[in-house]
């Protein structure tokens, strides 16, 4: 079960330079004092609904490069959480940081103060993409950091981005292959967006950068998803969380509040297509799936159904939800019975 996260934002704290895509200052206002962090934790705990009180509760220091800030400041923030850990009101701490700020000394400090989860901004494993995005680290820093984190038994989450300058679908899939080998516990994957106040805004306005189209992003992510599903790595989030700050600062790029569902719909479209390609068609099709997959098969605004009708000259496409069918399964009724496909069998 996912922990309840109490997020404390430390915008751009510890960041040596500004990454090309980052507008952290626009995302949150100012740096919190330790006393305001304490008040915020208390208020957040009080708001947790009764039925969720037994879930794991984590304070997360997000929005900067936690292990790159001055050691005294790290200790100051970590100490703020200590009384909550001691009383059992908070179970653990998570931080986000960059791969080149995770030496053994930094990790020992995190261990000492009860940090359980470290989220690392990896973005890409292609050095040219990292350079063009002004990340200031290389892929090898990520490999070293993950090995140290795993060696010291931290839970490891990685953030990847698609569509950064110099990125291609093949490069994204190469990145994923390397990441799968490194066996992190979970991933977040975000398409690159042009946000007000980020250095990327200027490059985009000057014509030096074109973001991915939404369809393109969905196709890249679909291929990535299918690879990830064959590994044991969970995907904690796809796409940025819709917030009022994001709505305010969004300028261009493949933003969609239900990106995950678009990817699942694209996968179900491919599954339906492959079933229709190999089976007899007589003007209509009856698909069988778990009731919770019906919307994935339909696609947004019935888009999949309309495309299947057009591509296969079908007059009717029917869907029957069956509780006993597993998620990720799609069946097609044919004269002789049912032909089926599992999403895990789709190639990427």
Task: State how far the Cα of 215 lies from the Cα of 334, in Å rounded to an integer.
Answer: 31
Rank residues 197 and 321 by Cβ distance to ligand SF4 and give the closer one: 197
Residue of 150, 212, 222, 224 lying closest to 182 (CA atoms): 150
Select from 28, 58, 65, 124 the one that contacts ligand SF4 (CB under 6 A). 65
Interaction between residue 67 and ligand SF4 (CB under 6 A): no
CB 15 → ligand SF4: shortest distance, Å? 3
How far apart, in whole angstroms, are the C-alpha atoms of residue 218 and residue 77? 38
> Using the rule CB under 6 A, is 15 a contact of ligand SF4?
yes
Q: C-beta of 282: minimal distance to ligand SF4 in Å?
A: 54
From 16-24, 248-256, 275-283, 310-318, span contacting ligand SF4 (CB under 6 A): 16-24
Site string for ligand SF4, 114-143 (x = CB under 6 A): -------x----------------------
CB 280 within 8 A of CB 335: yes
State in angstroms the smallest separation of the CB of 190 from ligand SF4. 11
Per CB under 6 A, the segment of 10-18, 32-40, 214-222, 291-299 that binds ligand SF4 is 10-18
Half-sphere exposure of 232 (CA within 13 A, CB side): 4
Contact 24, 31 (CB under 8 A): no
Binding of ligand SF4 at residue 188 (CB under 6 A)? no
Compute the distance between CA of residue 243 and CA of residue 248 in angstroms, rounded to an integer: 9
**Of residues 192 and 304, the one with the C-beta less far from ligand SF4:** 192
| Residue selected from 78, 90, 93, 98 as contacting ligand SF4 according to rule CB under 6 A | 98
Residue 319 contacts by C-beta under 8 Å, 6 or more apart in sequence?
286, 287, 288, 289, 294, 297, 298
- Judged by CB under 6 A, which of 12, 28, 117, 175 binds ligand SF4? 12
Stretch of residues binding ligand SF4 (CB under 6 A), selected from 13-21, 30-38, 50-58, 109-117: 13-21
One of 6, 8, 19, 60 touching ligand SF4 (CB under 6 A): 19
For ligand SF4, give the closer residue by CB, 15 or 266. Answer: 15
18 lies in the site for ligand SF4, by CB under 6 A: yes
- Residues in region 23-62 near ligand SF4 by CB under 6 A: 24
Identify the CA nearest to 320 among candidates 269, 286, 272, 281: 286
Smallest separation (angstroms) from ligand SF4 to the CB of 103: 17
8 bridge partner residues: 61
CB of 65 to ligand SF4, least distance (A): 5
What is the rounded distance in angstroms from the CA atom of residue 161 to the CA atom of residue 198? 15
**Total chain residues near ligand SF4 (CB under 6 A):** 10
The least distance separating ligand SF4 from the CB of residue 63, rounded to whole angstroms, comes to 6
- Report the DSSP beta bridge partners of residue 119: 96, 157
Query: Are 317 and 273 within 8 A, CB to CB?
Result: no
Structure tokens at 311: 């591509």
Which CB atom, from 12 or from 192, has the smaller least distance to ligand SF4? 12
User: Rounded to 5 degrees, what are φ and ψ at 20?
Assistant: -55, -35
| DSSP, residue by residue, 41-70 | HHHHHHHS-GGGTTS-EEEEEESS-GGGS-
Q: How far is the CB of 230 from ligand SF4 (least distance, A)?
A: 29
> Whole-number minimum distance, CB 24 to ligand SF4, in Å?
5
- Running DSSP on this structure, what letter comes out for residue 33? P
240 binds ligand SF4 (CB under 6 A): no
> Dihedral (C-alpha) 199, 205, 210, 215: value to the nearest 10 degrees?
100
Interface residue list for ligand SF4 (CB under 6 A): 12, 15, 18-19, 22, 24, 64-65, 98, 121
């Amino acid at each position: 079960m996912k922990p309840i996260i109490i997020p404390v934002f430390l915008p751009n704290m510890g960041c040596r330079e500004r990454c090309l895509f980052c507008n952290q200052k626009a995302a949150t206002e100012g740096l919190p004092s330790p006393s305001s962090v304490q008040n915020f934790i208390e208020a957040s705990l009080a708001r947790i609904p009764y039925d969720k009180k037994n879930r794991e509760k984590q304070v997360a220091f997000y929005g900067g490069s936690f292990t790159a800030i001055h050691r005294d400041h790290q200790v100051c923030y970590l100490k703020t959480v200590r009384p909550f850990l001691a009383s059992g009101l908070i179970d653990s701490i998570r931080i986000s940081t960059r791969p080149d700020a995770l030496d053994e000394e930094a990790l020992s400090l995190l261990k000492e103060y009860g940090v359980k989860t470290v989220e690392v901004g990896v973005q890409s494993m292609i050095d040219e993409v990292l350079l063009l995005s002004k990340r200031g680290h290389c892929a090898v820093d990520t490999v070293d950091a993950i090995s140290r984190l795993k060696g010291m038994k931290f839970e490891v989450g990685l953030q990847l981005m698609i569509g950064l300058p110099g990125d291609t679908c093949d490069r994204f899939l190469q990145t994923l292959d390397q990441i799968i080998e490194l066996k992190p516990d979970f991933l977040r994957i975000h398409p690159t967006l042009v946000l007000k106040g980020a250095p990327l805004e200027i490059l985009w306005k000057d014509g030096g950068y074109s973001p991915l189209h939404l369809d393109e992003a969905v196709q890249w992510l679909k291929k990535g998803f299918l690879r990830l599903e064959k590994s044991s790595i969970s995907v904690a989030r796809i796409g940025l969380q819709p917030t009022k700050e994001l709505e305010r600062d969004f300028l261009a790029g493949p933003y969609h509040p239900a990106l995950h569902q678009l990817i699942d719909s694209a996968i179900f479209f491919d599954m339906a297509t492959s079933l229709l390609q190999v089976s007899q068609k007589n003007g209509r099709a009856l698909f069988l799936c778990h009731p919770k997959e019906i919307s994935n098969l339909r696609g947004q605004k019935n888009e999949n159904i309309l495309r299947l009708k057009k591509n296969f000259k079908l007059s009717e496409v029917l869907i029957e939800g069956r509780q006993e069918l597993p998620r990720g399964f799609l069946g097609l009724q044919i004269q002789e019975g049912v032909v089926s496909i599992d999403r895990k069998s789709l190639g990427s």
